[in-house]
């Protein structure tokens, strides 16, 4: 039986539209139970000062126990995505592997408006 990617993915809002002002904005808890991978796609509408975003993980949901994902678990090897002040209306993505059950993105610094979706992929191997 052929499995198609369209049937194995789903989207969740991981960061509601947020006006970033210095950082510290926590995204939504994304539950990756029974998922093969999760990628966070960030859209920045307006940037006043470069916006930096990182990925965090936790074994417990509900916004507690989050720690930064180690660089050796990140696709690309770096746990920071920065959108420069001249990149209005642009996108970026951040993803890791072998992560704990829950993950979220967090703004670190910057000023502007952004939001994000998490794209979750099912394990299509079975």
Tens of pLDDT, residues 74-102: 999 999 999 999 899 999 999 998 899 99
CATH for 69:
2.60.120
Tell me how far apart the alpha carbons of residues 101 and 65 are, in angstroms, rounded to a whole number.
12
pLDDT score of 60 more than 70:
yes
Tokens for 105?
């993105």
pLDDT score of 34 more than 90:
no
Domain of 52, in residue numbers: 5-122
**Structural domain total, the chain:** 1
Query: Rounded mean pLDDT of 97-123?
Result: 92
* pLDDT given for residue 35 in this prediction: 84
- If you ran DSSP here, which 8-state letter would residue 73 be given? G
By residue count, the chain amounts to 126
pTM of the prediction? 0.88
């Amino acid at each position: 039986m052929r499995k198609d990617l369209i049937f194995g993915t789903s989207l969740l809002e991981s960061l509601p539209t947020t006006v970033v002002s210095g950082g510290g904005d926590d995204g939504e808890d994304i539950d990756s139970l029974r998922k093969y991978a999760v990628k966070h796609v960030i859209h920045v509408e307006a940037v006043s000062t470069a916006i930096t975003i990182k990925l965090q993980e936790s074994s417990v949901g509900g916004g507690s126990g989050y720690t930064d994902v180690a660089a050796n678990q990140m696709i690309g090897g770096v746990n920071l995505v920065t959108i420069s002040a001249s990149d209005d209306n642009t996108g970026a993505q951040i993803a890791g592997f072998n992560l704990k059950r829950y993950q979220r993105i967090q703004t670190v610094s910057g000023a502007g408006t952004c939001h994000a979706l998490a794209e979750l992929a099912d394990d299509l191997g079975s």
